[in-house]
Amino acid sequence: MPKISEERKTERREQILAGARRCFAEHGYEGATVIRLERDIGLSRGAIFNYFPSKEDLFLELSYRDNARLVRLWMEKGWEATLREIATEDPAWLGVFLEIGRKLRTDPDFRKRHGARSQDELAPPLVEHVLAEQERGELRHDQPAERVAGFISLVANGLAVQIALGEPIRDVDALIEFVRTAVEPGAFRASSETA
């Protein structure tokens, strides 16, 4: 086999991931067979699995990249930008995350691999970011940073599932306004005063 440059390898990886994403979105996780992956990626199974040893690895890499992109957006442009970004996602792609629910619940190894990298690499800097916002008085501080991040993440999950189920929300601004009231310090002060 001829040697492939690092640059060419990176290109190949990106080609494979882009094709796999389209394939998963169109056919679902189970429906993305090796034959369909070969066709949508435009490479043979040998070439594909040289880069990613299994369909599971392909999906986990795509899932990690999505998480990483959303966490980066949150840290750079704020959680509002992240919710807006999710609202524009492809419903069919978001739907793939729903389809792996059974596998996540019933396959402990898959579950561990799915959560591990996001937990280890993405969660700590995000919680740090929220903590810094709390310290600057930009977010309520009567709840631990993990809980504030957890609440916004739960809303993000609610938004994603509605889009994936074909119920896009009509007004993202109104959603953001509710979340802002829930997490901003002004709201916290008021609820203390009236308590």
Q: Is 156 in the site for a copy of itself (CB under 8 A)?
A: yes
Of 176, 163, 17, 168, the closest CA to residue 82 belongs to: 176
Residue 189 lies near a copy of itself (rule: CB under 8 A): yes
Q: Which is nearer to a copy of itself, 38 or 99 (CB)?
A: 99
Of 150, 140, 145, which Cα lies nearest the Cα of 184? 140
Q: Which of 18, 104, 116, 132 binds a copy of itself (CB under 8 A)?
A: 104
* Residue 120 sits in the site that holds a copy of itself (CB under 8 A): no
3-state class (DSSP) for residue 90? coil
Could you tell me if 7 and 25 are in contact, meaning their C-beta atoms sit under 8 angstroms apart? no
Q: Which of 75, 92, 123, 131 binds a copy of itself (CB under 8 A)?
A: 92
Please identify which residue in 53, 101, 124, 125 interacts with a copy of itself, judged by CB under 8 A.
Answer: 101
Comparison of 72 and 111: residue with beta carbon closer to a copy of itself: 111
